[in-house]
Amino acid sequence: MVTAEQVKNDRAVKAYIAKADESLSALGYTEHSFAHVGLVANTAKYILETLGYDPHQIELAQIAGYLHDIGNVVNRVDHSQSGAVMAFRILDNMEMDPEDIATIIAAIGNHDEGTGVPVNAVAAALILADKSDVRRSRVREKDSSKFDFHDRVNYSVQKGSLRINEAKTIVELELEIDTAYGSVMDYFEIFMERMILCRKAAEKLGLHFRLTINGQQLL
């Protein structure tokens, strides 16, 4: 089996992730480089591992998490679909089993709000992992007077965590927001569609999705 470590160390994968983030930087987007995809891969692993999925599925979730944003090197628009096609080429060249490739590219092609649907457990884990990565360190602009709306909302998040409860019935995204930079309503204005997708992903995994901001449960 092709492993997450092999994919992570692949020269082409490294190039596509770096160049995709370079393109997004030019467009004014937050960080989508190795820090983001590494965190998404680890969070997807945590989700399926905690829920008792087999090691094979967990490995596929890590690979999907690491590759999910490479389509941004083509264009931000429809990057989930272009990323799925690129991932197919990479994994096929690595001689991965076709069924495993199908699971991964379905997850990548369905990870973005607007078009995404949690079609399988790997896709559901990827969605939750990706949409929960909201943090101050993703903001590139250092001068707060030049922040756009997305910068302000991301910069406002001082701390965030995604956790599954002991009973394995709830997955909770807990955020601490500095309202000097962005309000709770600002967060909802940008991320409501993402949170709805997270709810659907949680349901796919037999969980309820909960959003808590500054100690207040909102979803």
Tell me the domains of the chain and their CATH numbers: 4-217 (1.10.3210.10)
10-residue averages of pLDDT along the chain (219 residues): 96 98 95 97 98 98 98 97 98 98 98 94 98 95 89 92 98 95 86 94 98 91
**Crossing angle of helices 149-156 and 184-204, rounded to 10°:** 70
Q: Which pLDDT score is estimated for 96?
A: 98
What is the C-alpha separation between 194 and 209, in angstroms, rounded?
A: 12
User: For 165-203, b where at least 16 C-beta lie within 10 A, e where not — what string?
Assistant: eeeeeebbbbbebeeebbeeebbeeebeebbebbbebbe
Q: Which pLDDT score is estimated for 155?
A: 94
Q: Which pLDDT score is estimated for 24?
A: 96
Q: Which pLDDT score is estimated for 189?
A: 84
What is the C-alpha separation between 41 and 59, in angstroms, rounded?
A: 9
Cα 120–Cα 122–Cα 125 angle in degrees, nearest 5? 110
Residue with tokens 């690979």: 63
| Cβ neighbours, 10 Å, residue 215 | 7
What is the C-alpha separation between 183 and 112, in angstroms, rounded?
A: 24
Q: Which two tokens stand for residue 45?
A: 């692993």
